[in-house]
Structure 1
């Protein structure tokens, strides 16, 4: 299975331009393609990134400011025009369902597929999705309106069989493999106990990704994102504009780096840049004064966990 990856579709705030695209990204993890936010122009960016539309089932919308969801109705319409039949599940604050329903009502569109809406309203960390491979949590953020970040965590995998050692023990049959993968010792016919660690290798490391945009500087999120492998944290402004960040419910690159350092994350990705700063490397330079492993995210670039 491919290593988990994050493809940035857009990483700027507010007004789209020829070069700047509002927030949207695709997280590939354990065979799933998760769309996180869907700013204007997302479907065009998906095509440029060569991401197949029919692989997107789960869509996560952080909050109801337009630069985070104005591309969604267009994308849902394209799904319909392409003859999609698979359901889509949208995790978003209360209100988005009404917006979508009104649009399709007055455009007289009856979709060929179903949309399942999971409405978010909790002010605490909450598990919002779970399957056999992944669990996803909403992270309460501090913005001008109700907003969530998202934490994606792999579930532990089974141990890997050490076939070279297993072949030495003739009592072990194929039907025993499941128990051995689950970490159980093996008992031979003559009563000997073969420790599991002799028959298996450790499973792959559990990986995690946290998305935090938009938010004021808030130490309260640290406990929720501790030790994640990759953190995307908004950095709308540089520290010269810290007062503007406070007034608008955003963060600076410097503040994002403080969060990453205190949470002891493996890597920090910056994003949601204000268009008043055309040189995104300035964000990276500012953050590196605090946290060493940081990168300014760029559209259509893929980052691996």
Structure 2
């Protein structure tokens, strides 16, 4: 199960009723932050999300409306007595930018790992009450996989997908058929092979086929490039920028390398996602709801983000 909280749904500049891009996805009490626009800390305090549980920060690109909140947030996390490592992921060139950020907030009490995305999936597993980086996928554990896609914006920009895998179902009837003691069942489900009384029990004896997990995709600040459709395919939730609601603003979207509501909805349809939430609204758009029909004409299950929107997605 994944819990989602939109901290900011605006793009370009902060508005009185709309913070800049930022959202949290939580898994068993640990948190991943996607983008960190100006005012992110204010929204965190307003919605009481806390700071200490953030293990991973994913930045789409190095434009101010997506990361001006980062130096202050890191400083606050340091002041909250956090000591565990924080992983920061961003596009090519992100490491150079982070060197400057860390110059502003030196002597953090926690280590920082910086990863420039685009090199393949990154796997994390909940261990010791935090999300830790793993070298490879363990199908017997609940892993979170973060994948990236290079987008088409005016600077290096990444889209993200987050997948929570689902462990194979434990087949009680098989365990009983093989007369496996119950005190071994959990260990087998966790992928452990057990030797007992001259017999060897392997997980495959009692586990069913692999099951599909939860996939959430996050695409912002991009034209609707072809690779997005495959990248978001079969997502339970597709979070996509909708900088412009009015079809008449298509020329602005093309010029500024953003998307209209209709373009985002077309991606959702072609990607066979279950649900689309539009976000990153232009400050020129006072009421995004006036244009929601432009998206729903292509993809009916479309809704609009707003600051504070929360959602839980289960298997």
Q: What's the TM-score bracket when you normalise by the shorter of the two chains? A: 0.7 to 0.9
User: In 2, Cα distance between the equivalents of 1:6 and 1:233?
Assistant: 14
User: Counterpart in 1 of 2:227?
Assistant: 220
CA offset digits 1:161-208 (Å, max 9, x no partner):
64xx58976933025414764799xxxx9xxxxxx99x7888875111
Tell me how large the CA RMSD over aligned residues is. 3.1
* Higher gyration radius (CA): 1
1:117 to 114, 118, 123: 114
User: Is residue 2:276 matched to residue 1:268?
Assistant: yes
Displacement over 4 Å in runs of 4+: 165-170, 199-205
Q: TM-score, normalised by structure 1?
A: 0.85
Aligned to 2:312: 304
Q: Measured at CA, do residues 228 and 70 of structure 1 come closer, stay the same or move farther in structure 2, by a change above 3 Å?
A: same
Q: Secondary structure at the match of 1:151?
A: strand
Cα displacement (A) at 1:220: 2.1
Displacement, 1:304?
A: 2.5
Alpha-carbon shift at residue 285 of structure 1 (Å): 2.0
For 1:142, which of 145, 152, 156 is the aligned residue? 152
Residue 263 (structure 2) aligns with: 255
Give 1:15-94 correspondences, 5 Å limit.
15-29=13-27, 31-94=29-92
- Residue 291 (structure 1) aligns with: 299
Q: Would you say the 8 A contact 1:137–1:150 is kept in 2?
A: yes
Indicate whether 1:174 and 2:182 are aligned: yes
**Alignment partners' CA distance in 2, 1:103 and 1:246:** 31
Q: What stretches of structure 1 of length at least 5 have no aligned partner?
A: 190-195
Q: Deviations over 1:44-78 (max 9, x none)?
A: 11122221211101000000111000000010011
Q: CA deviation at 1:154?
A: 1.4
State the Cα distance separating 1:262 from its structure 2 match: 0.5
Q: How many equivalent residue pairs? A: 291
Other-structure match for 1:101 = 99
8 Å Cα contact 1:235-1:283 kept in structure 2: no
1:26–1:33 CA contact under 8 A, matched in 2: yes
